[in-house]
Amino acid sequence: MKKYDLHIHSTFSDGYYSLEEIVDKLRYYGIEIFSITDHDNIDSIKAMSKIDTQGLTYIPGVEFSAHKDMYKMHILGYGIDGNNEELIKLCKNMKLRKNIRNLEVIKQLKDKFGIIISKEEVSELLKAEHFVGQTTIARLLVKNGIIPNVKYYFEKLFPFINPETIATTELDDVIKTIHNAGGYAILAHPITIEDEYNVKIENVFNLFINAGIDGVEVFNSKHSLTDVKRFFKLAKDNDLLISGGSDYHGNIMKPHVKLGKISKDDAEKQEHYEITIISKCIGKEINMIREKNEGENR
């Protein structure tokens, strides 16, 4: 099996490295199949068309913030059409929600910590063409010399900030949009749901089945060997696709997460499960090329 990493973040969201830098690193580490899954935006898909990926296999991707009942989760979308209007609309709506949420965060930074972000800087954040999230605000504070690093923001400031606006989309709508864009919807790092809500994913998995989920991210840098075996069984029992990725953000945001490291304890070296999302996406792409060629030859 070729080396892969299907969960990577770039500077189009809260990743530290540009697409060009990520592709260089993929080649260096011998990772041949990859996906850029930036948060709540698909800007990387268009940009990737200008990147030299010779010798690599690129799968268009995204990671949406979603909610269902009392739970929040992340849903990965693979093999999506970046020109799909419904998908573009969802991303625009997510950006609007994040902007409202960011204004609430900026106000609380001032009220609770005396940290002031100028009107000019706020205006630039609101007008930014690409993703603006908590990492963007944290980097601005680092740039202005207010805090030492991004980690400080998330450990010392953000836990005490409580914005009212929820910057997520209803789970069923996220999955429906991914499907309508020709893609597959995968539950990202299920261990985070278990840790945050003190539940076993098996006991709440009907939420995802009923919403039309296609697969589970069995391998992830947060998952131990025990987790991998359990999530693999969950996927198999429900006849779902299997995916895997590191959730790589770069050396600043998540220094412990390395590109291509898709488990906490090298579980992928012991459990060699077929990553079925890859075959699905590549197979779909091959069929599209074949249909295009057949149409041109008629």
Is 126 among the domain residues? no
CA 163 – CA 160 distance, rounded (Å) = 10
Q: Which of 254, 199, 191 is nearest to 228 (CA)?
A: 191
- What's the pLDDT tens digit per position in 2-27? 899 999 999 999 998 999 999 999 99
36 in Cβ contact with 48 (< 8 Å): yes
- Is 112 part of any domain? no
Q: Is the dihedral of CA 187, 188, 190, 195 positive or negative?
A: negative
139 occurs within a structural domain: no
Higher-pLDDT residue of 103, 2? 103
Q: Is 128 within the bounds of a domain?
A: no
What is the reported pLDDT for 130?
Answer: 78
Whether residue 293 has pLDDT greater than 70: no
pLDDT at 297 over 60: no
Tokens 């749901």, residue located? 193
pTM: 0.92
Range of the domain at 273: 4-82+185-209+216-297
Percent of the chain at pLDDT exceeding 70? 95
Please give the Cα distance from 275 to 44 (Å, whole number).
23
Number of domains forming the structure of the chain: 1
**pLDDT confidence of residue 173:** 98
Q: What is the pLDDT of residue 268?
A: 87
Weakest mean pLDDT among 52-66, 191-205, 219-233, 279-293: 279-293
Domain CATH for 33: 3.20.20.140
